[in-house]
Structure 1
Amino acid sequence: ENWDFDTIVILGANHSGLGSNFSMYITDDWLTPFGIVKTDKEFGKYLIKNSEAVEDPLPHLYEHSIEVQLPFLQYISDNFRLVPILVKDISIHKAEEFAKVILEASKELNRKVFVLISSDFTHHGKAYGYILFREDPIRNVRRLDMQYIKAILSKDSRSFLDLIKNYNGTVCGKYPIIVFIEYIKQYNARVKLLKYYNSGEVMGDEDVIVGYASIVSFS
């Protein structure tokens, strides 16, 4: 309802570690079972010209974090263009610089832009090589993720990354998340947690737990 965005910039986790810190793939349009999603080539080229982003299809061949969002977006609207970017290994300063270029591009190209971050939260269990909690892991994963979420809601990239470091955290999209934080700080957006749950709460499995959250910003 009232969906009128021209361009959707999706910043996804780079699980493979391949490519540059900002790897984009706009040369071709994207295809899902719901049809073709056209890329915003002009917007993407602006980012390439004015930031560290590069056109590199290789990491996208081994990545799912962006494509899993597309069917949901296509359900809402078929009238948008996509700028898909995988993000890894950046500082807060680099996140801030890139966020500024996204905002600059939206103004220069007269686009109404929706920035979407694709990330899970904590991955806990032997399968992930991460066992922080021996007792009551489902509840404790929630508590840990709520610390991360509190930092996001406070728009505090430093606290967020410090928590990741202190807990050796397994939030796969931590770098896209700090770009999001720096982006929303530019227009003094409000931030709200819509929903959190982890897979243990849903499935009852304590051995493999992954956290999920829906967070939205608005002015």
Structure 2
Amino acid sequence: MLFDDQTAAGVREPAVAGAFYPGSPTSLRMMLQDLLDAAKPDPVLGEIMGLACPHAGYQYSGLVAAHGYKLLMGKNFDVVFVLAPSHQEYFRGASVFPGRAYKTPLGIVPVDTELAHKVAHASEFASLSWYGHRGEHALEVQLPFLQMVLTDLRIVPIVIGEFDYEICTDLGRAFASVARGRRALFVASTDLYHGYSYEECVSTDERTLRKIMSWDVQGLCDGLLTGV
């Protein structure tokens, strides 16, 4: 386990407020409410354990994200694990935020520091570190939605620098161990497609869903690396 002591007890300030989403609390709350009001998700049978949500600017993908987050309204979770890729810094494995909170224009989002430490100890590839967290938008943009739809929100923010089968399976086992006996939600921040072809976008979604539904972890990891 690596420990990068950059104010371990600190608060991660907003990095992309005013760019990816409104920086004003009032404007942000209004935009989120409009997106949630407009979202008409299909009902989900059973308990929701995870969401895959996009991380572009709200003006581009906010409505898609709202379809997922609206399904959480009225639900309660002990902890939300928020996982995002690193766009700013390269490192191998996962960087578990070591501070006490993230902050958005809507206020403080407390980190479950006990569970954060447990994840870092349970995985060979996870470290308590600020790497990947300093300017990363992919994790930050999920938090205002979570603040809108959940009460008593506590998170474990994790930025992943590299994806391969070995890392993903090791992290999966760590999450299963740490989350056991808790009402846990996993939010995976991901843009499945960047491009201009609607047909290619739909095809990417369908291929990804097939691998997820068939529990094809190896195939999903290979697809992340190759795009196939």
| TM norm structure 1 | 0.64
1:26–1:83 CA contact under 8 A, matched in 2: no
More strand by share: 1
1:57-206 to structure 2, matched below 5 A, reads 57-107=130-180, 110-124=181-195, 137-165=197-225, 168-169=226-227
Any stretches of 5+ residues in structure 2 without a counterpart?
1-72
How many pairs does the alignment contain?
Answer: 155
Separation (CA, whole Å) in 2 of partners of 1:8 and 1:22: 16
Determine if the alignment matches structure 1 residue 31 to structure 2 residue 103.
yes
Partner of 2:31: none
| TM norm structure 2 | 0.61
Aligned partner of 2:81 among 2, 6, 9: 9
Moved more, 65-74 or 90-99: 90-99
Code of the residue aligned with 2:188 in structure 1: it is I
1:26–1:40 CA contact under 8 A, matched in 2: no
Aligned with 1:103: secondary structure? Answer: helix
Any stretches of 5+ residues in structure 1 without a counterpart?
126-136, 171-219
Offset of residue 62 of structure 1: 2.4
Identity %: 25
Aligned partner of 1:54 among 127, 150, 159: 127
Offset of residue 63 of structure 1: 0.8
Over aligned residue pairs, what C-alpha RMSD do you find?
2.1
2:132–2:161 CA contact under 8 A, matched in 1: no
Offset of residue 2 of structure 1: 4.1
Code of the residue aligned with 2:81 in structure 1: it is V
Offset of residue 164 of structure 1: 4.1
Which 4+ runs in 1 deviate beyond 6 A? none
2:80–2:185 CA contact under 8 A, matched in 1: yes
Code of the residue aligned with 1:142 in structure 2: it is V
1:122–1:169 CA contact under 8 A, matched in 2: no
Aligned with 2:84: secondary structure? Answer: strand
Cα displacement string for residues 51-87 of structure 1 (whole angstroms, at most 9, x for unaligned residues): 1311221311121111101111111123021100011
Cα displacement string for residues 102-147 of structure 1 (whole angstroms, at most 9, x for unaligned residues): 121123xx5321111000012126xxxxxxxxxxx32233223322
Code of the residue aligned with 2:182 in structure 1: it is R
Code of the residue aligned with 1:115 in structure 2: it is F
